[in-house]
Structure 1
């Protein structure tokens, strides 16, 4: 037993030192390692080399599934988004107005983008969560199946390939289930809206003389929508207006507390008469003067477009979601079958079906002429129009008859993986797997209208028999029903049915991959064995979208879409080496070198490579210093490469005109304009400047891979004289070049000519007429123009304090200090965006927890902290008076009690002090960074049969 105990301790110490300090230390976290019988090498995230008690130089943070359950968390994205090293990617809080993204849950390490964060399941890739994308949707991972999540916040492309620039999240699923486990939880906010519930069945066991082991899980989870009207602080928003005080030195804008409806549009329809007055229509359809309530908001600019809270204009607070609803079912079945003592076959099967929907206002019209002979016009309106010489009135209207526009999403994910692994000899083992994953998305847009039918139906006249009919004879023949838009609820159901429609799109994403890893010991050095891992991988990604023909034709109000087809494949070969240099020497308890190299060949972006060098030095047993330097890459995804061409219109400045040509830097603009054949003093035609110009939005098949040069330097301190204490400090930096960024036509024209020569990525994005010189065509697409420069410090500390009489205490702190966060979309110095210290990227973020366990009772207090920040680093006193955003700390109090060995009750209060987002126009609605649910109570139970 001494041997087994020593190994168990070595593994735990290795994990602790590698992670800095595990995010939680609940009983049974590493039970699978503790039960090993003999020296078994384990694979630690960040390396494919299996090691015995050996430490990786890469910092890793561990989150356990048990801790998530104790915190009342029903979605793994929710805990990842709380990490100081992470920020919110696409989520139900941020995706409501993004038509194809409703309900998605993607995390974003270092704020570098979800596509730069690689999510793995058991060390292997998972199919993307949305069409054309590469990021994994965390809705597909059931919390009840999570043993732990290991988070590397650093470049790992040399080990795992593309998309790992910002880091890797490796989700390890449970393998230790015996019997049946029932789990249920419910979260009830103090104010209604935003309720959460989850139920799961997990079952597992060994069969066929213990050769076959299985783990099955079914999870049903639901998150209710949260509307602005569900929360006091959202129902009473804080916005901004132009400052009525226009004196010198006064800020241009000031906060405005409360609702402020738009004064020129509403649900009944409003118009401006020839007498200068504004009118609307009452419940009976009769015309009356518009009621401004407390009056128009005073001040310059567009203040007059808004009116006081009781004004009968359009109020956006009454529409949409702060958090979209989400309902999901997840089925998981993992199996292992031992062929013999040395080899086993394993499978992973996942099926996910979930629905979500976004919501926005009904369709609306701002150019909506109603002719003077319209049959639905009240007599007083006809008289007003006749008296003031109005041949038509323009009706500004929110068309609530057709219902709110909703964007319903149904996503169905299926993944099947089969593999075989085993030992080759005493020193080498292997693992091979093949998998296929498929995502099918069905999007349905409700509350839509036929644009042409709307125009036909609203244009109603009296026929010779005195009947109200549609003016257009062809429309009448097709079944047109006259539509009364003058007042609310005036339209007949037949007219609503004639105009209403829905539209949809289906999409499919397929991932096919296979991988082989061979790892073991090469030879022995005085300090230990040189270990290695060699891998080969193949992956193919395919995506397609199929919109309804109406969307392709553009006959639906405000929505168009085009079909897309795209695919690529990649072949990769990689090698890793762990080289022990010194051991058990003065100032060298151990010293090791880690090397990794990966070669990649993409069918789209071509050949590339990634590498990593890591040093791991323990001068004494209590102190370990580690450093890594690496090159990471991200290949463009299918959406960036193959997004279909869709027409758009834009107005922009031609910098080669005689007014602007002299304003470019270093004379480049004038030189390049003349080199393009434009004479000095040239100007576009007058008609060109007076019109919007047609062009296209499209993907870019010529994109190349992004490149990141990153490094980490840190230390782990685990003093032997202070058992249970650990401290890690890691300084990290990312410099990403050739980052993919979408370029508008105005930017393309400017930097085509401001560059040193015409040989640049911008000039290819537009076309000039060879005769007139006018720009006659353009494409807005992604190019490799951007860069990131991000640096910071991670600090993590944990102290476990056992006592004989008062239970066990634990203190844990994890924090990130952001030193630098710079983004340049074009490479030109004038476009550099310094975002560190802004509310999206505050200087400090931290998690703190204090736990106490006494026999069967476990209690914990946890705080999430965001440092004070500003809305804009380029703020000036004359801009506004609301730039400062205060610090923010949300406290949760949670607990659990084991009534028996088989029954555990969980409970807690989230956001215990009911802290609202800062009352600032930028973030009063959370903006994805601050909690909008408010104080909420949760209760959960786990019963093991």
Structure 2
């Protein structure tokens, strides 16, 4: 990391020497920027605001909102397409959702806006926007406010605000086609879009524009990359017992009378490479990593349309419509079936006529069998996510006030269909009990026919979030103060939220491996009312104080008032000092309060603390059920949740070291209490004495699940520094050069798993669910000359201490990770723009990690790109 920073600083110092001619300064106009409702010059803002122009990220081959936000160092999100394989931390399908997460506080504390207004949150957690709905092809820029803005936009803007801003108008037509071709098989992307517009808002008084964008990503399987082919890596401490499953093919058995354990296929090596022998107990283990996808197949279509018309010289009316659809097909290993009863009467009981070899130590009583029927195929879920958003808005000037008002109706939907691999639990178990299915080998014709008859297909769940908002705000200058014009803004908002979560009991109740077998349909609704005001006070020359306050009333969570104070002081034309302080309040979402309880697999494997303490089976235990196996957790909503509250402080300095060289340093500090979430499963299993009441059991004493509903946990404290640097040479005899560096350094990130509990330090170390990266930066060197431009960029992340659920001698430090990308653009032919480039120029593999939280093994799909080196080409023709 140090070397990379030194290289960047060295470049910052050396580039001005080649400057020959400066670009003329553009006249600045007053505009409304993210983080304020008062129109002002961008240079006047007292808040840390980053602006990313669409033309720049298009040249770098960034085609989705998730990819764009990956270049923002303050974004710690690891929730993207790869997480759909195996679901999220709750074990439920994600619907292919991609999430923004500023400061690592959770996607529920980053407010995502489109043209300054809200989008309905994704229905499966109800707490964050699915970035797949963003119309990237229609964007003009992305503005990222890196401190809290609860007083301006809403109480949930604790971590910051990301505002995606579309083009104001379009004239003409642009057709674009692009492709990304990895050097190795899998993960190919194709994209096409059309942007059309007619009428000039300034000249004709009206404009119509429309954008239609289609994108497809092919599946990337674990077997198409060496680093993800297997969960068994002995040289790294991942032995046969780690990263594998005890529910396998051929099946493992346990005799509850003689307590004999084994597998008839053990003597012949099980079924490599899918299942491999475990010498210590004569069983087989399933290397399920071999039958999952790194990235799912994904098809995305987005339409964005806007009509705007000037009603008079100062009044503009507009209509916006957004429709998105995201289809995702995710695949995991065949369905695990546990606790199957195999009686002595079955021809497949070891030693009977079915050809299964006899096994020593059997009592003749029914065996308990764990079996994964590979002939059923991989479990496959087809997720269809849809979003619709309609906005009718009016803006203008009345009685000296700049005003905006609008009606925003937004819907987010998702539905999951089981399309392969899943089986009806009861029918499947009956097939084993009645001697039709062979749990120790491939099926005969009758077995194959029966297996097909118990295949489970159909919609398992669907959900919908609806948000309807009426807003109005106005701003104006009031009077002259010593430092300039005093300005104010006032606004009001009314919002109604509805959430529906529907479980198809006919399907979900028949498949425990769906994670929804015990779920019930739920719904909820609430109203939110808000009033807010903002003042800009230039008290003396070069000193501006900004104050804002917001009052919100939630029909289900009470009222809250949140102020914000900002100060901007410019003692010298090349030096700016700024700071802000604010409070925040996030009410529990309808999903967090009302989500149906679901009995899902744990992320990691555990020993039951009573029946198999320390991995040693006790009398009456079933080691195939109680030892070194994914257990179950009961998760869901909690009506007793109380709101999260926060305090945010930020202070920064911006200085122009020399002409066209700007460096900004901003310190941020956030304190959050009563964080909403489920207690990490590792914490529960790690302290049985403390959490024994959470271990639910069936009447016979066998494990049912750990109780792990949403609750108010403890506090979170985090602070760090953002660095932004820009250097431009202006025009020279060799073209113009611009170097940018954006980085975030996290000093501390501490959290409590319960109120008044011990703090866990999460920076540069894998906590309960993942790491907080110490340093991230994105650096880019751009050259422009005539019809050509080119960019060399670097995306860098520091390493961290691994999860390390392995023997001490194999403890791992995850390496730092950097990707270099290069691109070039040519605009020399009229109307035609050609772009080509290489992502991951040096074909860098993801660093090894022994994490066990995700289904993917050998790397972490949340923090690394499994694609490898890839060539991308883009052609755009405008007429």
SS of structure 2 residue aligned to 1:86: coil
SS of structure 2 residue aligned to 1:933: coil
SS of structure 1 residue aligned to 2:294: coil
Matched, 1:921 2:850: yes
Q: Which residue of 2 aligns with 1:490?
A: 444
Q: Which residue of 2 aligns with 1:902?
A: 831
Kept in 2: contact 1:788–1:824 (CA 8 A): yes
Q: Which residue of 2 aligns with 1:806?
A: 734
Kept in 1: contact 2:326–2:384 (CA 8 A): yes
Superposed displacement of residue 452, structure 1: 1.6
Superposed displacement of residue 237, structure 1: 5.6
Superposed displacement of residue 279, structure 1: 5.1
Q: Which residue of 1 aligns with 2:191?
A: 198
Kept in 2: contact 1:896–1:904 (CA 8 A): yes
Superposed displacement of residue 866, structure 1: 1.4
Kept in 1: contact 2:490–2:533 (CA 8 A): yes
Q: Which residue of 1 aligns with 2:470?
A: 514
Kept in 1: contact 2:356–2:440 (CA 8 A): no
Matched, 1:571 2:529: yes
Matched, 1:130 2:123: yes
SS of structure 1 residue aligned to 2:184: coil
SS of structure 2 residue aligned to 1:80: helix
- The match for 1:844 among 763, 775, 780 is 775
Q: Tell me which moved more, 271-280 or 70-79.
A: 271-280
Q: Which residue of 2 aligns with 1:723?
A: 659
Matched, 1:601 2:553: yes
- The match for 1:398 among 344, 354, 372 is 372
- Please list the CA deviations of residues 145-202 of structure 1 after superposition, one character each: whole Å capped at 9, or x if unmatched: 1100000111110010122100000011012421000111110111111111111000
- The match for 1:861 among 792, 795, 802 is 792
Q: Which residue of 1 aligns with 2:22?
A: none
Matched, 1:267 2:249: yes
Superposed displacement of residue 845, structure 1: 1.2
Matched, 1:418 2:349: no
The 1:149–1:207 alpha-carbon spacing in structure 2 relative to 1, beyond 3 Å, is: closer
Kept in 2: contact 1:654–1:750 (CA 8 A): no
Kept in 2: contact 1:372–1:382 (CA 8 A): no
Q: Tell me which moved more, 53-62 or 254-263.
A: 254-263
The 1:593–1:263 alpha-carbon spacing in structure 2 relative to 1, beyond 3 Å, is: closer
Q: Which residue of 1 aligns with 2:133?
A: 140
**Equivalents in 2 of 1:127, 1:805: separation in Å?**
50
**Equivalents in 1 of 2:282, 2:492: separation in Å?**
62
Matched, 1:51 2:51: no
Q: Tell me which moved more, 375-384 or 410-419.
A: 375-384
Q: Which residue of 1 aligns with 2:870?
A: 936
**Equivalents in 1 of 2:670, 2:577: separation in Å?**
20
Matched, 1:363 2:356: no
Q: Which residue of 2 aligns with 1:500?
A: 455
- The match for 1:338 among 267, 287, 310 is 310
TM-score normalized by structure 1? 0.78
The 1:294–1:147 alpha-carbon spacing in structure 2 relative to 1, beyond 3 Å, is: closer
Kept in 2: contact 1:740–1:785 (CA 8 A): yes
SS of structure 1 residue aligned to 2:538: strand
**Equivalents in 2 of 1:168, 1:175: separation in Å?**
20
Number of matched residues? 809
Superposed displacement of residue 562, structure 1: 1.0
Kept in 2: contact 1:484–1:491 (CA 8 A): no
**Equivalents in 1 of 2:84, 2:133: separation in Å?**
17
Aligned pairs for 1:47-126 within 5 A: 47-52=36-41, 55-98=44-87, 99-126=92-119
Superposed displacement of residue 811, structure 1: 1.1
**Equivalents in 2 of 1:753, 1:314: separation in Å?**
32
SS of structure 1 residue aligned to 2:81: coil
Kept in 1: contact 2:95–2:416 (CA 8 A): no
Q: Which residue of 2 aligns with 1:610?
A: 562
Q: Tell me which moved more, 188-197 or 264-273.
A: 264-273
**Equivalents in 2 of 1:744, 1:613: separation in Å?**
36
Superposed displacement of residue 103, structure 1: 1.6
- Please list the CA deviations of residues 537-556 of structure 1 after superposition, one character each: whole Å capped at 9, or x if unmatched: 01111111121122564566
**Equivalents in 1 of 2:244, 2:480: separation in Å?**
77
Q: Which residue of 2 aligns with 1:665?
A: none
Bigger Cα Rg: 1
**Equivalents in 2 of 1:765, 1:485: separation in Å?**
33
Q: Which residue of 2 aligns with 1:152?
A: 145
Matched, 1:179 2:172: yes
Superposed displacement of residue 828, structure 1: 3.2
**Equivalents in 2 of 1:192, 1:881: separation in Å?**
32
**Equivalents in 2 of 1:394, 1:652: separation in Å?**
18
Superposed displacement of residue 697, structure 1: 4.3
Q: Tell me which moved more, 558-567 or 230-239.
A: 230-239
Q: Which residue of 2 aligns with 1:714?
A: 652
**Equivalents in 2 of 1:491, 1:876: separation in Å?**
43
The 1:315–1:796 alpha-carbon spacing in structure 2 relative to 1, beyond 3 Å, is: same
Q: Tell me which moved more, 368-377 or 892-901.
A: 368-377
- Please list the CA deviations of residues 632-687 of structure 1 after superposition, one character each: whole Å capped at 9, or x if unmatched: 221111111112345799999999xxxxxxxxxxxxxxxxxxxxxxxxxxxxxx99
**Equivalents in 2 of 1:639, 1:747: separation in Å?**
24
Give me the CA root mean square deviation: 4.0
Superposed displacement of residue 223, structure 1: 1.5
The 1:303–1:634 alpha-carbon spacing in structure 2 relative to 1, beyond 3 Å, is: farther
Q: Which residue of 2 aligns with 1:785?
A: 713
Q: Which residue of 2 aligns with 1:592?
A: 544
SS of structure 2 residue aligned to 1:636: coil
Superposed displacement of residue 109, structure 1: 0.7
**Equivalents in 1 of 2:600, 2:382: separation in Å?**
25
**Equivalents in 2 of 1:635, 1:45: separation in Å?**
23
- The match for 1:826 among 750, 754, 761 is 754
Kept in 2: contact 1:174–1:215 (CA 8 A): no
**Equivalents in 2 of 1:484, 1:881: separation in Å?**
39
The 1:763–1:155 alpha-carbon spacing in structure 2 relative to 1, beyond 3 Å, is: farther
**Equivalents in 2 of 1:783, 1:412: separation in Å?**
29
Unpaired runs of 5+ residues, structure 2, are: 1-11, 13-24, 611-619, 697-703, 852-856
Q: Which residue of 2 aligns with 1:456?
A: 430
The 1:451–1:727 alpha-carbon spacing in structure 2 relative to 1, beyond 3 Å, is: same
The 1:183–1:778 alpha-carbon spacing in structure 2 relative to 1, beyond 3 Å, is: closer
- The match for 1:623 among 571, 575, 591 is 575
The 1:44–1:423 alpha-carbon spacing in structure 2 relative to 1, beyond 3 Å, is: same
Aligned pairs for 1:633-672 within 5 A: 633-645=585-597
SS of structure 2 residue aligned to 1:535: strand
**Equivalents in 1 of 2:687, 2:367: separation in Å?**
44
Aligned pairs for 1:251-290 within 5 A: 255-256=237-238, 266-269=248-251, 271=253, 280=264, 289-290=268-269
Kept in 2: contact 1:363–1:404 (CA 8 A): yes
The 1:806–1:272 alpha-carbon spacing in structure 2 relative to 1, beyond 3 Å, is: same
Kept in 1: contact 2:275–2:287 (CA 8 A): no
- Please list the CA deviations of residues 683-736 of structure 1 after superposition, one character each: whole Å capped at 9, or x if unmatched: xxx99xx999999644222322211111111111125xx322111011111011
Kept in 1: contact 2:663–2:724 (CA 8 A): yes
**Equivalents in 1 of 2:693, 2:353: separation in Å?**
59
The 1:294–1:753 alpha-carbon spacing in structure 2 relative to 1, beyond 3 Å, is: closer
Superposed displacement of residue 334, structure 1: 1.1
**Equivalents in 2 of 1:710, 1:613: separation in Å?**
11
Q: Which residue of 2 aligns with 1:161?
A: 154
Kept in 2: contact 1:262–1:305 (CA 8 A): no
The 1:848–1:306 alpha-carbon spacing in structure 2 relative to 1, beyond 3 Å, is: farther
**Equivalents in 2 of 1:149, 1:161: separation in Å?**
19
Superposed displacement of residue 326, structure 1: 1.6
